[in-house]
């Protein structure tokens, strides 16, 4: 029973969750680890529903003051070329005073000397983070989740910046979409080569959670990541979009806020869009809602006939079936943006590698506690620390339930959760 902000917590996973072994030799499983990592969810009772929790994120609380150094990568994808940015969390105290006014707060570019010196044989765990729609490494919800790991002195982390976000520049007419897994794939390959002994982990928020889940599904057991967490994933984008458009507050508040953010992002790159695409930027600048932006930009840029076709094709609920590393997914049932109707309960029940943790309260990337803390950072840090330091990572079997496809061989049917309508060269 919910009372004064105390949320109910539920876990959904396979009846036979993934078997794991601790470094001490003790047998355990993924569900037990997730249950031990997720603390009671006691939120601010004044923010009594999902709308209140979600809207309070606009209060612009300062959050933990993390610092970053930015590296620019040239994409190695033939079709989706151009540049993208990755922000690396700064752990050297002497470098925390640096900041470039052209970038997001507390962020500076690596110097040429620093770039040349990148690389190490150390075995510190490293976290690869994906932010939400039009966000960046500066987002408060993101810093609340990773600051305890960085401040512990035991972790390294980097944030893959979606193209054009966080004051990054684009060198083509491409921004990003919910299927844009190529930049995170390239980053992870680079990290594995540059830091060969570091175990890599993933963390995604909102749209970044969707992208990360899609990446994990595409890679299956081939991903270098050892475990991951996705927070507030919208899962079935077409469902969440329909729900938003069906209510007054969803249409005129959330769709409009998200649409304004993407419109502003596009207008910051107006010159590039006019140079490299046939997008009508004057029309783009007049749009109000997110679905309008997706129709005017995402569809012609990527080749989808309608925004609904894009939403269906880029959703990550089916991708969950193909994940082959331990994955903790955290969602609030009262999230007004990532609707509870899109939650992949059935898919989580079919895959022992995944645990879906739902809280009855929390909103979209809210989870505000009394005093301004953010609850979601606790299970994120607890789970990642447990996986990095207490689990024997070599004990993880990548194919517990065999191949990722299903169907009825007697009738010649085959279901592949990663078979998309839009064919994309993943550059794997």
Tokens of 338: 């990532």
Residue 206 bears catalytic tag: yes
In the set 51, 364, 376, 386, the catalytic residue is 364
335: annotated active-site residue? yes
Residue in the structure block whose two tokens are 């959760």: 417
> What does DSSP assign to residue 297?
I
Describe the crossing of helices 377-389 and 30-37 by its angle, rounded to 10 degrees.
130
Residue 80: strand pairing partners: none
Give the C-alpha separation, 355 to 259, whole Å. 31
Distance CA 334, CA 332 (A): 5
Q: Are 126 and 191 in contact (CB under 8 A)?
A: yes
**Token pair of 51, please?**
């709308």
Nearest of 3, 10, 72, 2 to residue 329 by alpha carbon: 10
Choice among 14, 168, 206, 316 that is catalytic: 206
Nearest Cα to 319, choosing from 352, 351, 341, 358?
351
Q: What is the DSSP string of 50-111?
A: HHHHHHGGGG--------EEEEEEE---SSS-SEEEEEEEP--GGGTT---TTSSTTEEEPP
Q: Which of 335, 342, 360, 376 is catalytic?
A: 335
Active site amino acids: 206, 335, 364
């Amino acid at each position: 029973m919910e009372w004064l902000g105390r949320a109910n917590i539920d876990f959904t996973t396979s009846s036979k969750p993934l078997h794991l072994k601790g470094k001490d030799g003790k047998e355990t499983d993924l569900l037990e680890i997730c249950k031990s990592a997720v603390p009671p969810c006691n939120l601010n009772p004044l923010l009594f529903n999902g709308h209140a929790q979600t809207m309070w994120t606009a209060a612009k609380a300062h959050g933990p003051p993390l610092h970053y150094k930015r590296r620019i990568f040239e994409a190695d994808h033939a079709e989706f070329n151009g540049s993208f940015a990755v922000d690396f969390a700064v752990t050297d105290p002497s470098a925390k005073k640096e900041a470039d006014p052209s970038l997001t707060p507390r962020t500076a570019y690596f110097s040429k000397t620093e770039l040349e010196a990148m690389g190490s044989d150390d075995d510190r765990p490293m976290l690869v983070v994906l932010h939400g729609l039009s966000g960046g490494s500066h987002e408060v919800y993101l810093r609340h989740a990773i600051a305890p790991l960085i401040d512990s002195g035991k972790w390294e982390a980097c944030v893959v910046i979606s193209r054009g976000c966080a004051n990054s520049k684009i060198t083509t007419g491409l921004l990003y979409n919910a299927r844009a897994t190529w930049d995170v794939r390239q980053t992870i390959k680079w990290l594995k080569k540059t830091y060969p002994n570091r175990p890599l982990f993933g963390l995604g928020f909102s749209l970044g959670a969707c992208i990360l889940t899609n990446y994990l599904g595409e890679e299956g057991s081939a991903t270098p990541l050892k475990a991951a967490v996705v927070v507030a994933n919208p899962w079935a984008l077409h469902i969440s979009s329909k729900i938003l458009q069906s209510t007054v507050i969803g249409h005129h508040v959330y769709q409009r806020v998200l649409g304004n953010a993407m419109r502003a992002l596009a207008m910051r790159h107006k010159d590039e869009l006019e140079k490299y695409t046939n997008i009508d930027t004057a029309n783009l600048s007049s749009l109000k809602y997110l679905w309008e932006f997706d129709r005017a930009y995402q569809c012609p840029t990527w080749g989808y006939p309608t925004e609904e076709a894009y939403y269906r094709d880029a959703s990550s609920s089916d991708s969950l079936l193909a994940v082959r590393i331990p994955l903790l997914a955290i969602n609030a049932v009262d999230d007004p943006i990532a609707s509870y109707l899109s939650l992949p309960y059935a898919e989580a029940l079919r895959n022992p590698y995944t645990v879906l943790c739902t809280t009855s309260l929390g909103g979209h990337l809210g989870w505000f506690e009394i005093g301004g803390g953010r609850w979601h950072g606790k299970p994120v840090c607890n789970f990642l620390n447990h996986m990095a330091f207490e689990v024997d990572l070599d004990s993880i079997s990548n194919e517990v339930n065999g191949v990722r496809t299903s169907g009825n061989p007697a009738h010649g049917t085959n279901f592949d959760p990663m078979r998309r309508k839009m064919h994309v060269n993943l550059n794997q």
